[in-house]
Amino acid sequence: MQFAKFLTLLAMVPALSISIQAQSYRQLDGLYYETPDSANIGNKDFYNMDNRVYIPGKEFIFSYLIIKNADTLLIRIDSSGDTKTHNWTFVKKKDADSLTIQKLGIKVLEGYGGLDQLFPDFSQTVIQQSYYSDSSILFDGYTGLIENDSNTWLHPFRGKYFSVLEFSPFPYIKLPAKKGSTWTWVLNDISERWSDKRIIDYSGKQHANYTYRNTGFKNILTPFGVKVCSVIEATAMTSLGISRLTSYYNESHGFLLLEYRNIDGSLIELLLTSVK
């Protein structure tokens, strides 16, 4: 589970407490997350209070494109409701059926979404990640994101073949956005659950080092019209190889476009198409 990884890191590394714009934050490897004061302990909506983009009740729908070995591919699951990571196959668009993933969704939830029962000290906004056919949810899962005045960071989609994104940079921007700014992050606990002979085969836990750079601002054409985005170039390095992410972040819509160059040589593009 994604939260377990983050909480393990919190337990192992001393966190620094600071105050930014009258809000209390702690940081781990440069990533700032909120810390409730005495008045907010027990407030189930505390980690959503300063969200400006990822507001509870909203769902962000993405189209996707996979290119691997010169083929443009979609992902088909074995059966509806099956959440097992390894149960998937590639199909071409002409062969898509009712078990083929056509779009992806991030729904921001209120409160703890029940995750406080598993992780009492979690400190993220809870999100539901859904994998859709043309007309219905094929399967879903729960994880988190962090949004505040200092940074926005979120877990990538990792269901089925999207588990390849565990080895790519996580979407992450430092705020306020500034051309030329750089930052780093680390992840010490990539488990064997993501090992897949069709992607990358390994044993033992993996360590990842991430570097990020804001290269400036760019107008891009989106389903919402032309939007000004901060362009973030990121690299992930593990003992298994190198992967990259170019992300386009808009202050009103969040991450509008994500372009991944993955550890297995594939390209994945995620484009925000609607917000409900």
pLDDT of residue 40: 66
| C-alpha of 22 from chain center | 27
Distance between CA atoms of 181 and 150, rounded to whole angstroms?
13
Helix (H) or strand (E) holding 48: none
**3-state SS of 154-217?**
ECCCCCHHHHHHHHCCCCEEECCCCCCCEEEEEEEEECHHHCECCCECCCCCEEEEEEEEEEEE
pLDDT of residue 21: 45
Q: How many CB atoms lie within 10 A of CB 27?
A: 17
Distance between CA atoms of 10 and 119, rounded to whole angstroms?
12
pLDDT of residue 135: 82
pLDDT of residue 10: 38
123 exposure class (CB count in 10 Å sphere: 0-12, 13-18, 19+): buried
Q: Where are the beta strands (DSSP E) in the chain?
A: 16-20, 23-28, 31-34, 59-68, 71-77, 88-91, 100-101, 103-108, 125-132, 137-147, 151-154, 172-174, 182-190, 206-222, 225-238, 241-250, 254-261, 267-275
Please say whether the beta carbons of 59 and 276 come within 8 A.
yes
pLDDT tens across the length of the chain (276 residues): 444 444 434 333 334 444 444 467 788 888 998 877 656 666 778 888 889 999 999 999 999 999 999 999 999 999 999 999 999 999 999 999 999 999 999 999 987 655 555 455 667 899 999 999 998 999 999 999 999 999 999 999 999 999 999 999 999 999 999 999 999 999 988 988 899 999 999 988 889 999 999 999 999 999 999 999 999 999 999 999 999 999 999 999 999 999 999 999 999 999 999 999
Q: Residues, the chain, total?
A: 276
Question: Which residues have C-beta within 8 Å of that of residue 175, sequence separation ≥ 6?
Answer: 149, 150, 151, 152
